[in-house]
Structure 1
Amino acid sequence: MITPPYLTSGDKVGIISTAKRTEPHEIEQGIATLKSWGLEPVIGENAFNEYGFLAGTDAERLSDLQQMLDDESIRAIFFTKGGYGTLRIIDGIDWTKFREKPKWLVGYSDITLLHCHVHNFGVETLHAVMLQGYPKASFDSVETIRKALFGESLSYEIPVHPKSRWNGEAVGGKLIGGNLSMLYAIVGSVSDIDMQNKILFIEDIDEYLYHYDRMLVSLKRAGKLKGLKAVIVGQMVDIKESTLPWGKNDREITLEHFDCPVIFDFPAGHVADNRALVMGREIRMSGSATIKIDFL
């Protein structure tokens, strides 16, 4: 995998909205944080546009993403907000210049699409809090973004959840994944990824239990869950019952569909403690009562 150049003080970084519409005040703290790191934020021309739910028309959002991808002075691209919308514009992007000179793409949730699409180019990306989330994000969430982008070492230690399927045997592999709904949405498309011999991270929010099961069954039927080295389950927020009880909780559903090591409650997802993850990076998981995750 190709690691985009790490950032240094004085670098320009792009700020764009490819999904849900965003107001300027929502990202003020995020912008201030980037400036405190010595970075120079460059806000996309259409970042605060409104077109119903979306941050401008498809053409406007695509234009900002294309411009930031092509501008060689922009060393990383930060996304303001998730929601939905990136899927509508992905097929209009020309990746030629990005593939020649990769740069960091920083976001999560809807941005899972870009993590997967770019993984197929052999380029690492950063699954992390988006600018709108900085005011509520934990210190560690934001600090791990800085560490990852400036080339500092990244590792985590988490207690083994009692429901985890983990025997203490070390596991290694490339980290992939992100929002489960997006992984489900891209199956069979050019953005779909090979999960063989990888370590899969998943998180989600506001889904019914039967829909959670349906997404995993669909991925399994597509052959996506075969040959995984391990699964890291982040925060599953508001995964709820429908009118009729499903009969199993989300952890039980997860264990039913995976036959590899599974660890629960990693601090990432739609929560304040949303630690940065370098997608495409080789990681090593080890430990017994506590699991250490090292980015190699």
Structure 2
Amino acid sequence: MAIRPAALRMGDTIGIVTLGSPLEPETIRTRIAYLQGMGFNVVLGRHVFDQNGYLAGTAQERAEDLMGMFADPRVKMILPVRGGVGVEGILPFLDYGFIRDHPKLLSGYSDITVLLNALYRFAGVIALHSLLLLDFRPETPAYNFEQFFSATSSLAAPRPIANPPEMPPLVGRGTGTVCGPIVGGNLTSFVGSLGTPFEADTRGKILLLEETHEPVNTVYRYVEQLRLAGKFRDCLGIVMGECTNCIDAYGKTYQNLIDEVIAPLGKPLVTGLASGHGTYKAAIPIGACVLMDADNGRLTLMEPAVTA
């Protein structure tokens, strides 16, 4: 069974780190102020404001910031400022044994996907496919905060995973019901880890995929790479999230890709989950057990992401 970090409570301290691409300093400060206005204390990694092209400091520096947050007894939760690129570079510098012995909540999506899955696979710790620091602003939908704080604070289970009323409901594409830990996240980042020591293990898992700003023919290429790597063969079921701002290509849509490539795999399939890069972001605990009813389009979280 995966390790559940301690729940987040109002007044706790959140550690802010930049693990991939940089974010404008003023944006970071504004988002931190919003977080503090919610009632949380904040500590910053040494390299939060570093900028070196498309990266924020060296891989070693970013990894040291992250490990520092796991070692800091004040910090209850770790919140990266954004994803971008470069998160994969920190993975060899992390001490997964130490993380296992000092588990803490960590939330993110986009390129943070590779870290979420590595924390689960190598440290056995549940991590949250949910908000980044950049999402803490007045414009963020209430649904996103409700999802985030339910996942980080509630011990209630089972709990349905469902889209907000503003979105179409999940669609079940058959066949049957399966139950297992959920892994995955951003498709580009997930594919980028293939062939490395840090690729996710989908054996006996439910696989979640979402994407953003890619033409459908590129999404097809990534999906085919996952298929050839055995990731669909090994998984129990597939959850296809949104392809946010993805571009139709050669007369084909993202829905066509699901119909023509994913559905014929014959795996239990649910589509349309709002999570990751879309406006609405369901909170998905990577490594937690999920019951997937592919006939009726239902996902149910069977255990809390946190412990008291």
Check whether TM > 0.5: yes
Q: Secondary structure at the match of 2:231?
A: coil
Residue in structure 2 matching 1:146, options 149, 153, 157: 149
Counterparts of residues 27-106 of structure 1 (less than 5 Å): 27-28=28-29, 30-36=31-37, 38-106=39-107
Among candidates 252, 267, 273, match of residue 274 of structure 2: 267
Q: Which position in structure 1 is the counterpart of 2:166?
A: none
Aligned position for 1:155:
160
The RMSD of aligned alpha carbons is: 2.4
Shifted more, 229-238 versus 28-37: the winner is 28-37
CA distance in 1, matches of 2:253, 2:27: 39
Partner of 1:123: 125
CA contact 2:209–2:240 (8 Å) conserved in 1: yes
Q: Gapped runs of 5+ residues in structure 1?
A: none
Comparing 228-237 and 25-34, the one that deviates more: 25-34
2:266 and 2:181 map into 1 onto residues whose CA distance is: 18
Q: Which residue of 2 aligns with 1:109?
A: 110
- TM-score by structure 1 length? 0.89
Aligned to 2:232, the other structure's residue is in SS state coil
Query: What per-residue deviation string (whole Å, max 9, x for no partner) do you get for residues 26-69 of structure 1?
Result: 24564345435543111112111111122233343233122112
Q: Which runs of 4+ in 1 moved over 4 A?
A: 244-248, 287-290
Change (3 A) 1:286 1:71: same
Q: Is the 8 A contact 1:44 1:64 kept in 2?
A: yes
**Distance (whole Å) between structure 1 residues aligned to residue 272 and residue 252 of structure 2:** 21
Alignment match of 1:195 (pick from 191, 202, 209):
202
Q: How does 1:214-225 map to 2 (within 5 A)?
A: 214-225=221-232
Give the TM-score normalised by the residue count of structure 2: 0.85
Amino acid at match of 1:150: S
Tell me, which stretches of 5 or more residues in structure 2 are unaligned? 164-168, 304-308
Answer yes or no: is 1:291 the counterpart of 2:292.
no
Which whole-Å deviations, capped at 9, do the CAs of 1:9-37 have from their partners, x for residues lacking one? 33222101111211233245643454355
1:179 aligns to 2:186 (yes or no): yes
Aligned residues: 292
Kept in 1, the 8 Å contact 2:269–2:294? The answer is no
Partners of 1:143 and 1:3 lie apart in 2 by 20
8 Å Cα contact 2:162-2:273 kept in structure 1: no
The alpha-carbon deviation at position 2 of structure 1 amounts to: 0.7
Contact 1:104–1:125, Cα closer than 8 Å, also in 2? yes
List per-residue Cα deviations over 1:128-182 (Å, max 9, x = no partner). Answer: 0211123343111122111111134342235343xx4135x43311111101111
Q: Residues 195-220 of structure 1: CA distance to partner in whole angstroms, max 9, x if unpaired?
A: 12211111011122222122122112
